[in-house]
Amino acid sequence: MPGAKDRLDSLRSLVDEYEGALLRYVSRLMGSASYAEDVVQNTFLKFTRKWRKPFEVSPDASRWLYRVARNEALDHMRAESRRRRLHAEHGGEAMAQPTMPSAAPSDKARSASDALGRLSDRERELVVLKVYEEKSYKEIAEITGLSVGNVGYILHNAMRKLAAILGGDD
């Protein structure tokens, strides 16, 4: 049975392997790098409490981390939406949408980001997983709980929308 030091070293390896990718994924999903940090931190905390297998870099660990990060991000976005709505209903100004800080993105990057923002939440999530995170349809299905066929259908339509938006045919 591995000791506490071995377990901590294994956890560090997992964090080193997945933290950057999870931060990018959640930042794109939420549109906020600072919120993404909180979500990813919560994801790793849940991992340490709930993961029963050895802490090691593996496809199972990757899928679990992405699924939990996704669920944490969606929960956070729903809670934030409720807070904004309640604030607006009670006479205050609606809270500003969080924006992701950027280091002067190129015109193409800005156009792509704007186009992604015009997709539905589900479409955007799947495009981010496929294009930016380079996940297979099967991995996306496991992360999102959708069927592989549904993933393909949604992605196909999302990519057609992106092409139309970027091509100016919207």
Burial of 72 (0-12, 13-18, 19+ CB in 10 A): buried
Same domain, 62 and 125: no
As a whole number of angstroms, the distance between CA 119 and CA 169 comes to 15
The number of domains in the chain is: 2
- Cβ distance 112 to 166 under 8 Å? yes
User: Is the whole-model pTM more than 0.85?
Assistant: no
As a whole number of angstroms, the distance between CA 24 and CA 30 comes to 10
Same domain, 14 and 88: yes
In order along its 170 residues, the chain shows pLDDT tens digits of 557 788 888 889 999 999 999 999 999 888 878 889 999 999 999 999 998 888 888 999 999 999 999 999 988 888 887 887 777 777 654 444 444 444 456 777 778 778 888 888 899 889 989 988 889 999 999 999 999 999 999 999 999 998 998 886 55
Dihedral sign for Cα atoms in the order 110, 133, 143, 54: negative
Mention every residue, 6+ apart, whose C-beta is less than 8 A from residue 14: 44, 47, 55, 56, 57, 61, 65
- The whole domain housing 145 covers 102-170
CATH code at 124?
1.10.10.10
Same domain, 44 and 126: no
- Among candidates 152, 127, 109, which has minimal Cα distance to 25? 127
Same domain, 85 and 34: yes
* H-assigned helices in 51-145: 59-89, 107-117, 121-127, 137-144
